[in-house]
Homo-oligomer: A and B are copies of this chain.
Amino acid sequence: MLPFNLTILGSSSATPTSERNPTAQLLCHSEKLFLIDCGEGTQVSLRRMHIHFQRIRHIFISHLHGDHFYGLIGLISSMHLLGRNKPLHIYGPPMLKQILDLQLDASLTTLIYPLEFHPTQADKQEVLFEDEEITVSSFPMLHRIPNTGFLFREKPYERKIRKDIISILGIPVHLIPKIKAGADFIAADGTIHPNQTITTEPPQPRMYAFCSDTAYFENIIPIVQCADLLYHETTFMNDRIVNAAEKFHSTTGQAATIALKANVKKLLIGHYSARYDNLQPLLDEARAVFTETELAVDGKVFEI
């Protein structure tokens, strides 16, 4: 299986605190680094964690509340000043491009690397990126302004041929890709070796679902169904359910209910209001509904 893990760079909502940065997550899959949201201070968090940020090729911005993108222009600028030449792809609401362009214009900066902007649409699901290993798509959330979640889904793995079988049966090298894709092997004497007898089951493809700021929204359940890891915001505890609804945010209980109904393997909560110093009560409330819950904490890494 390919490496697949998530590093929390920021877990605070709205305003940063001394301990928690605003939302930003780094998703590593195979050799690729994807950045999800980019609150103020993200570039410093990346440095402090010794993550070489020029390796990031794709940045996904969920929506244009400042705690999700105010660190982006600084990161883009630092990539420029530090001599980047590889393209950077940014996926976000259309107006984000205007905001970046205006700030680059103000400093008379022409980036020395290609910045490819891909506008997202918040009213439907769409595939934003795919290669041989992974597909990234967006889906609508329910928030005060247009906002998307992001789904990172591994492509199916190929079946594996048992190595001993290759020499025993004398399977020619050029047939191996076909067999990995599911073909049977017909030996020189006409004997058919069914694929299942010469290959082993591949690992199940994994899925990470990032659900940015949202009110309780059951429409996402079929989309994030059976995710290996679901991140869902929990700005408030259950006693502030009315406050949460007014602000189009979710409570611990609501996040855990989504996780339960979507039958995910693990739930990660975050985007905590600055009012909560101690996060244990939030974890307890969520676990009361969905046991396999973890807290997003700045600097923590989760294997997917």
Contacts and interface: CB of A to CB of B under 8 A. Distances in A.
Interface of A: 14-18, 21, 40-41, 43-44, 47-48, 64-67, 70-71, 73-74, 77-78, 81-82, 93, 95-96, 98-99, 102-103, 106-108, 144-145
A44 B70 contact: no
Contacts of A102: 95, 98-99, 102
A78 B107 CA distance: 25
A81 B12 CA distance: 14
A279 to B, nearest CB: 18
Contact of A40 (B66, B71, B108): B71
Given A71-B40, A74-B66, A102-B99, A108 B145 contact: yes
> Interface centre among A40, A65, A99, by most B CB within 10 Å?
A40
Given A41-B41, A81-B15, A99 B106 contact: yes
Contacts of A67: 77
Contacts of A74: 16, 40, 66, 70
A243 B98 CA distance: 32
B47 A44 contact: no
Contact of A16 (B43, B66, B73, B108): B43
